Chains A and B, each alone.
Chain A
Amino acid sequence: ERKRFYQNVSISQGEGGFEINLDHRKLKTPQAKLFAVPSEALAIAVATEWDSQRDTIKFYTMHLTTLCNTALDNPTQRNKTQLIRSAVKFLETDTVCYRVEEPPALAELQKNEWDPIVAWAEERYKVAIGSSTSFLGPNIPASTKETFVSHLASYNMWALQGIEYVVTQLKSLILSMGLIDRHITVERAVLLSRLEEEYQIQRWGNVEWAHDYDQCELRARVAAGTLFVHLCSESSTVKHKLLQD
């Protein structure tokens, strides 16, 4: 763990976008590229993460910084098509489509809480999704996948990194689209993603150091991812040079 080595955090605008200054030093990515983001609001939020650090720098709390680093460095070397494919693949095992039959109370809860969001996605995107209790999961028509692939292609590379991140965290493309489309809040999305845990907590009790700990972490990551997507998609604030469509 590194000690905080800077007094002041500030933002400046460079050729490639908005940069973060730690005292007089410019922040760099893990691969030593200049840290520059396309949105001023995003830069401010990243600066706030750095300024919130006290004696030691806790990188695992700096979710927006991490997302920006991923977008800038692209360490997994994936292109747009690969990111989209990775996100849409989750549909085959989407949490909200994968149902249990037992115990009946949980099956009922899944029906009541998840059916509406699936119905929303089907209506919003004019696709058939459905749900399944089969071991193999739901059978998603190819046309449905195509629709989502087309839709995601309209997002730029930075936003797609964010979207794929949120999908991976929530284990659900549908819940992620619900967030991106501002249909549900982060708290609701996390609750729906963790529905079975919530059911067990109701039945057996809450264990703060595990349940709340996990819930807070998931909320933080999903909130960061969602904010990242929205801030990277706003055409008014975005510097297009960086976004490499």
Chain B
Amino acid sequence: MAALGSPLRTLRGLLRELRHASSPAGRPYRDTPAYKHIIAAFRAHRVTSEKLCRAQQELHFQAATYLCLLRSVRQHAALHREYHGKGERSPEEVAGLVGFRLPQQPGGKG
């Protein structure tokens, strides 16, 4: 079976990702349907360290998969912003790269 680690760790990771995903201006993350659903599911199935119950293993796998989804989307977006999101440099920036400044023309260019 899949090497999932500790269910508690998965739960903590999930709650952390939900916190990251929620905006400071919106509803508090504890108020969201996702948070409530996850907490209720873990409570109902009492996912502990025992490897015996199949339903528990299924829930844990689902939780771990969802955690992977949230985490990967966040990391991907961060990498995108960092490396791919900046677009082109303005003419001022390009000039600045080689130590020039664009000329000032009174009344604007032609």
- Between-chain CB contacts (< 8 Å), 10 pairs: A52-B22, A185-B3, A187-B68, A209-B79, A212-B75, A223-B69, A223-B72, A224-B69, A230-B61, A230-B62
A230 and B22 within 8 A (CB): no
Residues in chain B near residue A58, CB distance under 8 A: 77
Q: How far is the CA of A29 from the CA of B34 in the complex (A)?
A: 22
A126 within 8 A of B: no
* Consensus secondary structure, chain A interface: helix
B95 within 8 A of A: no
| Residue from B1, B57, B73, B79 in contact with A213 in the complex, judged by beta carbons closer than 8 Å | B79
A127 within 8 A of B: no
Interface string of A82-113 (1 = CB under 8 A from B): 00000000000000000000000000000000
| Residue from B2, B33, B41 in contact with A183 in the complex, judged by beta carbons closer than 8 Å | B2
Residues in chain B near residue A224, CB distance under 8 A: 69
Interface string of A199-223 (1 = CB under 8 A from B): 0000000001100110011011001
B72 and A216 within 8 A (CB): yes
Task: Give the Cβ gap from A68 to chain B, nearest Cβ, in Å.
Answer: 14
Residues of B within 8 A of A (CB): 1-4, 18, 21-23, 26, 32-34, 37, 41, 57-58, 61-62, 64-66, 68-69, 72-73, 75-77, 79-80, 82-84
Which of B1, B68, B73: most chain A Cβ within 10 A? B73
Residues in chain A near residue B76, CB distance under 8 A: 61, 213, 216-217, 220
Total count of chain A residues near the partner, CB < 8 A: 36
A227 within 8 A of B: yes
Task: Give the Cβ gap from B59 to chain A, nearest Cβ, in Å.
Answer: 10
State which residues 143-174 of A face B: CB under 8 Å.
none
A27 within 8 A of B: no
Binds B, one of A30-38, A39-47, A69-77, A129-137: A39-47
Given known A52-B21, A213-B76, A219-B72, contact A185–B32 (CB-CB < 8 A): no
Residues in chain B near residue A220, CB distance under 8 A: 69, 72-73, 76
Given known A51-B26, A182-B57, A223-B72, contact A216–B2 (CB-CB < 8 A): no
